[in-house]
C-alpha cells in the first residue's frame, strides 16, 4: 500500500471517527435535554392522605403477644429522594401516609397486601421522574415531605432503603420487631423516645455519606445491633431502658464517631479503636463489679479515619 493510500485511509478513518463523535455528542445533548425537561417538569404539588387498615393482635398477656410477632406487618421503603419521616399513631388506627410532594417531578407509589390473621405488607416508593439534575438542586426542598404514621398496637418489621435527602424516624412506643435499613447521602435520624412494648430482635443500619444520629437505642433493647456509617458524623446513643443482653457492633468510616453508653448496664468492651486518628474512651475493657440483675452489652466499636469517642 502506498503512502497516499495510507493517508487516504487515515483521512477516511478520521472523518468516520469525527462523525461518530458528533453523533455521540448529539445523542448526549438530546438525552440531557430530555432529562432536564423530565427532571424539572411542572410544579404540581399534591397533598397526600392515604390510609390502610391493619389488623392488630388482640390484647392478650405477654406470652401470647410474643407469639403474634411471628406474623408481623412489614413496612418496605424505597424512598430514593426527598424527605421522609415516621412517627407513632394511636392504637387501632390504620397505617397512614401524609404530606405533600411535587407530582410534576416526583412519583409516589403504594402497595398494600394483607394475609393470614394479622399479617400485611405495605410498600411505599418515592422517586424523581426521569433523570434530570433537579434532585441535586432541590433534594432538600421540604415541600417534598412525606410522613408515615404507624399504629402502636400492631407488630411490624421495618426494612428497605432511604436515599438522597433526609429522614427522621421517631419509633418510641411502637411494636417494632426488627429494623433493616440502608441509608443514602443526607441527614438521617432514628430515635426511641419511649420504651417499645417488647424488645427488638435486631437492628441493622448501613449508611453512606452525611450524618447519622441514633438516639435512646436502649428503649428498643435489640438483641443484635449492627450499625455501619461510611463518611460523616456518627452519633450513637445507647442509653435507655435495656431489658435483655445485647451484642452491639458499630463501624465508622471517615469522620467523628461518638458512642454513649448507659450507666445502669454492664458493658463488656470488646474493641474501641481507630486506624488513623484519635480514640477517647472512659470505659474499661472489663467491668470490675458487674451487676447480675442488669443486662450486659458486648460492645465493639471501630473507625478508619477521624475521632472516636466512647463513654458513659
Does some domain include residue 18? no
pLDDT at residue 142, as a whole number: 60
Does some domain include residue 248? yes
Range of the domain at 204: 53-311
Query: Residue 71's domain is classified under what CATH number?
Result: 2.160.20
Q: Which three cell numbers stand for residue 213?
A: 444520629
Does some domain include residue 100? yes
pLDDT at residue 63, as a whole number: 42
Distances (CA, A) of 194 to 88, 198, 217, 223, 242: 11, 12, 10, 17, 12
Q: For every one of its 312 residues, what pLDDT tens digit does the chain have, with 9 covering 90 and above?
A: 444 444 444 344 444 444 444 544 554 444 444 444 444 456 888 899 999 988 766 554 454 445 455 578 999 999 998 899 999 999 989 999 999 999 888 999 999 998 877 789 999 999 887 654 444 334 445 678 999 999 998 899 999 999 988 999 999 999 999 999 999 999 999 999 999 999 999 999 999 999 999 999 999 999 999 999 999 999 999 999 999 999 999 999 999 999 999 988 999 988 888 888 887 766 654 445 677 888 999 999 999 998 999 988
Does some domain include residue 146? yes
pLDDT at residue 280, as a whole number: 73
pLDDT at residue 70, as a whole number: 57
**Cβ contacts of 285-288, under 8 Å, gap ≥ 24:** none
Does some domain include residue 38? no
Nearest to 77 by CA among 139, 144, 169: 169
User: Which residue do the cell numbers 461518638 mark?
Assistant: 258
Does some domain include residue 23? no
3-state SS, residue 131: coil
Does some domain include residue 35? no
Digit-coded pLDDT (tens) for 151-191: 998 899 999 999 988 999 999 999 999 999 999 999 999 99
Digit-coded pLDDT (tens) for 49-85: 999 988 766 554 454 445 455 578 999 999 998 899 9
Number of structural domains in the chain: 1
Contact (Cβ atoms closer than 8 angstroms) between residue 269 and residue 283: yes
Beta bridge partners of 144: none
Residue 66, exposed/middle/buried by CB under 10 A (0-12, 13-18, 19+)?
middle
Does some domain include residue 32? no
pLDDT at residue 171, as a whole number: 97
Amino acid at each position: 500500500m502506498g503512502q497516499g493510500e495510507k493517508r487516504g485511509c487515515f483521512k477516511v478513518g478520521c472523518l468516520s471517527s469525527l462523525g461518530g463523535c458528533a453523533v455521540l455528542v448529539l445523542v448526549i445533548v438530546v438525552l440531557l435535554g430530555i432529562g432536564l425537561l423530565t427532571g424539572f417538569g411542572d410544579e404540581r404539588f399534591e397533598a397526600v392522605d392515604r390510609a390502610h387498615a391493619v389488623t392488630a393482635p388482640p390484647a392478650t398477656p405477654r406470652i401470647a403477644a410474643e407469639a403474634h410477632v411471628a406474623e408481623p406487618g412489614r413496612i418496605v421503603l424505597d424512598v430514593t429522594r426527598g424527605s421522609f419521616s415516621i412517627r407513632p399513631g394511636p392504637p387501632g388506627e390504620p397505617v397512614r401516609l401524609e404530606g405533600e410532594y411535587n407530582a410534576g417531578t416526583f412519583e409516589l407509589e403504594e402497595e398494600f397486601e394483607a394475609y393470614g390473621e394479622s399479617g400485611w405488607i405495605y410498600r411505599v416508593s418515592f422517586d424523581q421522574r426521569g433523570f434530570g439534575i433537579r434532585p441535586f438542586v432541590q433534594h432538600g426542598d421540604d415541600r417534598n415531605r412525606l410522613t408515615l404514621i404507624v399504629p402502636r398496637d400492631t407488630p411490624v418489621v421495618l426494612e428497605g432503603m432511604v436515599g438522597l435527602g433526609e429522614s427522621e424516624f421517631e419509633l418510641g412506643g411502637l411494636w417494632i420487631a426488627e429494623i433493616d435499613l440502608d441509608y443514602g447521602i443526607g441527614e438521617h435520624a432514628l430515635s426511641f423516645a419511649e420504651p417499645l412494648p417488647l424488645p427488638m430482635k435486631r437492628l441493622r443500619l448501613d449508611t453512606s455519606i452525611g450524618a447519622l444520629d441514633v438516639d435512646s437505642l436502649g428503649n428498643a433493647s435489640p438483641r443484635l445491633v449492627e450499625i455501619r456509617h461510611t463518611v460523616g458524623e456518627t452519633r450513637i446513643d445507647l442509653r435507655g431502658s435495656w431489658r435483655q443482653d445485647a451484642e452491639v457492633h458499630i463501624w465508622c468510616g471517615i469522620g467523628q464517631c461518638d458512642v454513649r453508653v448507659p450507666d445502669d448496664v454492664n458493658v463488656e468492651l470488646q474493641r474501641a479503636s481507630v486506624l488513623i486518628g484519635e480514640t477517647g474512651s472512659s470505659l474499661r475493657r472489663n467491668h470490675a463489679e458487674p451487676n447480675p440483675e442488669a443486662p450486659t452489652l458486648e460492645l465493639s466499636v471501630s473507625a478508619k479515619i477521624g475521632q472516636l469517642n466512647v463513654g458513659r
